[in-house]
């Protein structure tokens, strides 16, 4: 049941985004271009995974806060988790833009 729900939510979310490439290069040779493509693909996969985990953290925190049922400690835990999930999204977004900036300076742009 959980696997089907995960595939339905995350699979559709990842399939709907056209900016994230989820395929590895067909061949990896000794040229700089092939290694650069591999590194950029791995970085894109890492960012997609972190974004999905942050989204799941926000949903989980919201459910925890809604189902607290008047329990102050459970609500506070959900609120703390929500804060950390939002901080995670900000950190991932900033790191992506920093990598884009450094890539622009060096000539290697992350797709």
What are the residues whose beta carbons fall under 8 Å from the beta carbon of 104, sequence distance 6 or more? none
The one-digit pLDDT tens for each residue of the chain (111 residues) are 555 555 555 555 555 555 555 565 555 555 555 666 777 788 888 888 988 999 999 999 999 999 998 889 999 999 999 999 999 999 988 988 888 888 788 776 665
- Spatial separation of the C-alpha atoms in residues 88 and 56, rounded to whole Å: 12
Query: Could you identify the residue written with the tokens 């459910």?
Result: 63
Indicate the pTM of the whole model: 0.60
């Amino acid at each position: 049941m959980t696997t089907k729900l995960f595939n339905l939510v995350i699979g559709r979310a990842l399939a709907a985004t056209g900016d994230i490439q989820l395929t590895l290069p067909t061949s990896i040779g000794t040229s700089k271009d092939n290694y650069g493509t591999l590194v950029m693909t791995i970085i894109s996969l890492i960012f997609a995974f972190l974004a999905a985990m942050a989204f799941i953290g926000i949903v989980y925190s919201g459910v925890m806060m809604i189902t607290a049922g008047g329990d102050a400690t459970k609500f506070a835990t959900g609120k703390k988790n929500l804060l950390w999930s939002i901080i995670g999204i900000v950190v991932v977004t900033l790191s992506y833009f920093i990598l884009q900036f450094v890539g622009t300076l060096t000539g290697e742009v992350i797709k």
